[in-house]
Amino acid sequence: MKAFQFRLERLLDWERRRFETERQRTRECFTALSAVREKAARLKSAHLAVERSMAAASVLTGADLKWLGSYRSKIASQERQLQTEEQKRQIDATAQQAKLTEHQRQVKLLENFRARRLGEHHRAVDREIDALASESYLSRWFGRRGAAPADWLENPGLAPK
């Protein structure tokens, strides 16, 4: 009996490594997306804190109002940049997720193929064992009886009943 050997094992290993690489890249994409979202949330939080403190101030000078105007335009610009970056990161993450799904499908396909081949191998081994057991039984049976299968053709009365 020959040991099971999957001819595409190296390809399966290579696909698994590619899948793991793509999984790591996907994690990195989603980590970057999360970082941009956190940065946007911190910016918004800081902006609201400044707005509250300015609203709570009892007296505002012209310089304060000028500073507040430039601050608001700077914050609006930063928010637009972060939105653009978040959209780009979202697109990258979605594309990377699609790649990961494709590699996962390839690995699963090869693993299913390997499992099917292994099942075929086990069935072949079982048939071989059954054949050996039958041969062993028949050789012991004919050894005791003194008749061989070729003798059955000449004298059907010798055949096992």
Rg of the chain (C-alpha set): 38
In the chain, domain spans: 9-115
Average pLDDT over residues 23-39: 97
Single pTM value for the model: 0.69
Q: How many residues does the chain have?
A: 161
114-123 tens-digit pLDDT: 999 999 999 9
130-158 tens-digit pLDDT: 988 888 887 776 666 655 555 555 666 65
* Cβ neighbourhood burial of 36 (10 Å; 0-12, 13-18, 19+): buried
The per-residue pLDDT for 54 is: 86
CA–CA separation, 24 and 18 (whole Å): 10
Q: How many CB atoms lie within 10 A of CB 112?
A: 10
CA–CA separation, 157 and 155 (whole Å): 5
Residue 34: pLDDT over 90:
yes
3-state secondary structure of 102: helix
Residue 31: pLDDT over 80:
yes
